[in-house]
Structure 1
Amino acid sequence: MIGVNNHYLTFGSKDEVIRVLDDATAVGANVIRTFLQPVIGSLDGSVATIWDWRAKRDASDLGVKDTYLLYWDPRAGRMAINDGANGMQKVDFLIAEAGKRRLKLIIAFLDFWSYTGGAQQMRAWYGSPDKSGFFFQDPRTKQDYRTWVSHVVQRVNTLTGLAYRDDPTIMAWELMNEGNARPDALRLAWTAEMSAYVKSLDSNHLVSSGHASVSDKLSDLTIPTLDFGTWHGYPLFYKLTVKQFNDTIIEFCQLALRAGKPVLLEEFGYARSNRDSAEAYAMWLDTLVRDPNCAGWVVWRLVSRQDSGGYPADEDEQFDIRNDGGAISNIVKAAAEWAAQIRKAVGGIR
């Protein structure tokens, strides 16, 4: 599996979405991972939105241009879902266009973080300041999550006529991007409960947690209703050298072998400003391609030209990958081509 992440596919313009999908194809990806977002307060402002959703910025910089998927309905006193042109119809478009390009999608139902609302906005609907426990144990937020999952999985795409649960373009559902529930027992219990719920609605697609899984060494792999494991690797965050991170890749692929489930390195990044950035990506991707116990990678993150004309500035983390002929994009493309050749050779033998 060769993939890329993109964070604005559910709220970018149609042209911005198409540019990302075309660039993903150009760098050799066969999978794109994204999150269902944004989540806001109420439209009338009586229930606050905890992030600046009206900001006039580029899509990559979280300018959502009045797009929202989930919101609070103060009249009904409950969560509501936006199925309109500035809501779920944007997801319809993404799935339809990915399908035209034979790209598969990994879709997380929600983001844990508050960048575009996510689970933090949903707990804020109920006035809770608890960022790590409330969402995962309060009966109201748990029911909101189930309602949302049911709506998404059973939605019929207005462009293709296919229910999402029947659409082969969707490779997998993820419960949440980096659902950092605390304590860990709560995270595991919530993951087991909600993955079983997704499976009860959709037996056609794979399910994973979307958890970063580094510190706990893929502890959720033992949950039977998770089909594959995920981990997110940022070596500088974990104070690892390039070589130590390469050793961690090998370690996690061995964990996959012992668990009897695929494990996907579904986020990783290393700042372009590091002098050894190109060499680091080359080493890690070489290891991921060569090791038969590794299920693949999904790099963080592919971005394309914005409607404003240029690529995102990416001055902080500097993780962005661009289809611009640069050293890192060429390394990703070469690794993707090599992996495709290996798959073809193995298929020929079989």
Structure 2
Amino acid sequence: MAFSRRSNISNFSCCFLVIIVLSLHCENHIVSSSASRFIQTRGTRFVLGGYPFFFNGFNSYWMMHVAAEPSERHKISNVFREAAATGLTVCRTWAFSDGGDRALQMSPGVYDERVFQALDFVVSEARKYGVHLILSLTNNYKDFGGRTQYVTWAKNAGVQVNSDDDFYTKNAVKGYYKNHIKKVLTRINTISRVAYKDDPTIMAWELINEPRCQVDFSGKTLNAWVQEMATYVKSLDNKHLLEIGMEGFYGDSMPGKKQYNPGYQVGTDFITNNLIKEIDFATIHAYPDIWLSGQSDGAQMMFMRRWMTSHSTDSKTILKKPLVLAEFGKSSKDPGYSLYARESFMAAIYGDIYRFARRGGIAGGLVWQILAEGMQPYADGYEIVLSQNPSTGRIISQQSRQMTSLDHMSSNRTNSQSNKLRNSKEQ
């Protein structure tokens, strides 16, 4: 009996151990499966579900603002539907509106639930149409509040401030911004019932649209702010990617790189700011028609190619992170504008993005900007209405197909390498 009992205990222990191991395996599989639903990085590329993810995307910053009026929400749906039909898979839009008309954050820590539900709608519609979102958390400019509004709130509360650049250094202002980060990341979508920080529809968070700092052109002041805010974001959400929102201007860390700037600095340092480990990928913007106003189309295109080449090289060799051309376009307000000139510019930039992507450089591009019909107040000269611009839509669709083809090429290359490795081990 003693032996029999000991044997039963031993059998029970083995079964219990097996159950524990299987449970841990299942738990790890669930965690792994959950993580694979989020876009991640692998070297200089993005991956989704373990496979390479190259993309063609767009900017539509206005979505939450428009969706705050329920009768206008069809415009969000229309843009996502038309964008998806042309193969656009990533959209960058604002997750902020600080003070003013249809404000999300009416005053520090005080939010308009109606506007938050508008953002809920944007996220749920993106999910419906298979579009991933990059959500920006505030603005360098006073449009929709941004730094100016945060500093004004602090001044009204009795904080001694001197300029909008105090946004980066004053503890009270940084506290307001951190509260906004927490409010958005922990928001539970009233439509999907999924917390934003748990929603794989969101590709990435952006700290601030086009940060600039006039009191310190070296980039060091901004660097300290990025480090602090990036650490805070990751403490709340380690599932999503994070980027800064930079235009790509070089700073003092590598003086030789300043030759690629359009003749000036803006208080950022593309290298040091993006080397911060909590920052998952780098971005650049490009507006040669503004930055090099008055110069010929040829000179502007030459600048574009140098701008993209330099940053692509830096991302591969120094940062070792993906790079996204997060804003580019050609304005109809430019002297001598024509649809042909715009489409030629877009085709050239798309061609460069594709070539860089094949070599492990730029991983995707986001054209500025896509509008729905009947949105004249939001027209800034760069707008594209897909339903009204079929020829432009065809150029965009072609780029989407090209980028998608890279997904398959990279997947086949990865599978081939894996098979070779497995065969060599078996031999």
TM-score past 0.5 threshold: yes
Q: Which residue of 2 aligns with 1:5?
A: 59
| Alpha-carbon distance in structure 2 between the residues aligned to 1:129 and 1:281 | 43
> What is the identity, as a one-letter code, of the residue corresponding to 2:342?
S
For residues 191-239 of structure 1, the C-alpha deviation after alignment (integer angstroms, 9 at most, x for no partner) is 1110111011100000010121234462212111100001110012222
CA distance in 2 between counterparts of 1:157 and 1:181 reads 34
TM-score (norm 1): 0.84
Whether 1:246 and 2:305 are equivalent positions in the alignment is yes
**Count of residue correspondences:** 314
Distance 2:195 2:228 in 1: 23
* TM-superposed deviation, 1:313: 6.8
Residues 135, 205 of structure 2: 8 Å contact kept: yes
Greater C-alpha Rg:
2
CA distance in 2, matches of 1:194, 1:22: 34
2:232 match: 197
State the distance in 2 between where 1:238 and 1:11 align. 28
- 2:270 maps to 218
* Cα distance in structure 2, aligned partners of 1:311 and 1:150: 32
Of 99, 102, 125 in structure 1, the residue corresponding to residue 127 of structure 2 is 99
Whichever residue aligns with residue 124 of structure 2, its letter is A
Higher helix share: 2
* CA positional deviation for 1:130: 4.5
- Report the RMSD for the aligned CA atoms in angstroms: 1.9
Choose which of 269, 284, 290 in structure 2 pairs with 1:237: 290
Once the two structures are superposed, the pairs formed by residues 137-216 of structure 1 within 5 Å of their partners are: 137-182=169-214, 183=216, 184-216=219-251
Amino acid at match of 2:365: W
Write the deviation string for residues 35-80 of structure 1: whole angstroms up to 9, x where unpaired.
Answer: 123211xxxxxxxx5xxx3xxxxxxxxxxxxx221122xxxxxx13
1:272-312, CA deviations, whole angstroms, 9 ceiling, x for partnerless residues? Answer: 4256222111111001012231111011111111xxxx352
Give the equivalent residue in structure 2 for 1:57. Answer: none
Q: Is 1:112 matched with 2:148?
A: no
**Cα distance in 2 for residues equivalent to 1:223 and 1:81:** 31
Question: Deviation string for 1:79-138 (max 9, x for gaps)?
Answer: 1332512x2111111111111111100001111211221221111123377444111111
Runs of at least 4 residues of structure 1 off by over 4 A? 128-131
Distance (whole Å) between structure 2 residues aligned to residue 21 and residue 130 of structure 1? 42
Aligned-pair identity (%): 25
Aligned to 1:346: 410
CA shift at 1:334, angstroms? 1.1
Query: Residue 115 of structure 1: SS of its match in structure 2?
Result: coil
Q: Is the 1:23–1:304 contact (alpha carbons within 8 Å) kept by the matching residues of 2?
A: no
Q: Is the 8 A contact 1:11 1:37 kept in 2?
A: no
Deviation at residue 186 of structure 1 after TM alignment: 1.0
Contact 2:59 2:327 in 1 (8 A): yes
3-state SS of the aligned residue for 2:376? coil
CA distance in 2, matches of 1:289, 1:169: 24
AA partner of residue 218 (structure 1) = F
**C-alpha distance in 2, partners of 1:271/1:329?**
16
Distance of 2:175 and 2:83 partners within structure 1? 35
Which of 301, 321, 324 is the equivalent residue of 1:264?
324
Letter in 2 for 1:334: Q
